[in-house]
Amino acid sequence: MTVGAVLLGAVTTHAANYLLERTRTRNQLLTRWDDKKIDAYSEYVDAVKMRIAASARLYEVREGLREDHRPEADLSEEVAEVSRRWGSAFERVMLLGGDDAIEAGHELNTVVSEIVWQATGQITGTLAEWRERHRTAFRKINVFHEAARADLGIQGSVTGEKHPERDLLLPPSRQPSPGQ
């Protein structure tokens, strides 16, 4: 009887330790992947914004809205370089991201590509269309943020009643006139 109690105690202790260790390891893995996802998501959004900013510089120089000391060819190369960084960043999202975040990224990529295409002259459009593409891109960034936050289990929202939609920030001399 005593031997049975000792064996039962040993088996119970072993099982409890095994389950605790397995739970601890699983939690460490989840935390490690969450850290990598946060890095991937934030790097991707940063790359998207850099791609938009580089495209805006090129577009504004091409359209005579801004002067820049760099030649147009250098600005085009900058767009190409940030586009390479963006591509790598999105690959990390594809590898680590949740389904909704990946889909939101695809939708965002479509709009940002249109911005790049208009900046490089691959498609034409008015200044009003250019600005609407930017508005859409920043709405899609918020959709991506929402999907990334949900994937990471982060409570709260970046849109909605507490966070109303905001328009583009334009300097006073660049405010669009009605119809722009």
Give the pLDDT confidence of 124-163 residue by residue, as tens digits. 999 999 999 999 999 999 999 999 999 999 988 777 666 6
pLDDT of residue 156: 81
Tokens 């991937």 belong to: 40
Cβ atoms within 10 Å of 152's Cβ, excluding its own: 15
pTM: 0.76
CB 82 within 8 A of CB 47: yes
| Tokens (6 digits) for 180 | 């722009």
Quote the mean pLDDT of the chain.
86
What is the Rg, in whole angstroms, of the alpha carbon atoms belonging to the chain?
Answer: 25
CB 49 within 8 A of CB 87: no
Residue type (1 letter), 2: T
Q: What is the pLDDT of residues 93-135, one digit of tens each?
A: 999 999 999 999 999 999 999 999 999 999 999 999 999 999 9
CB-based burial label for 135 (10 Å; 0-12, 13-18, 19+): middle
E strand or H helix that includes residue 145? helix 127-152
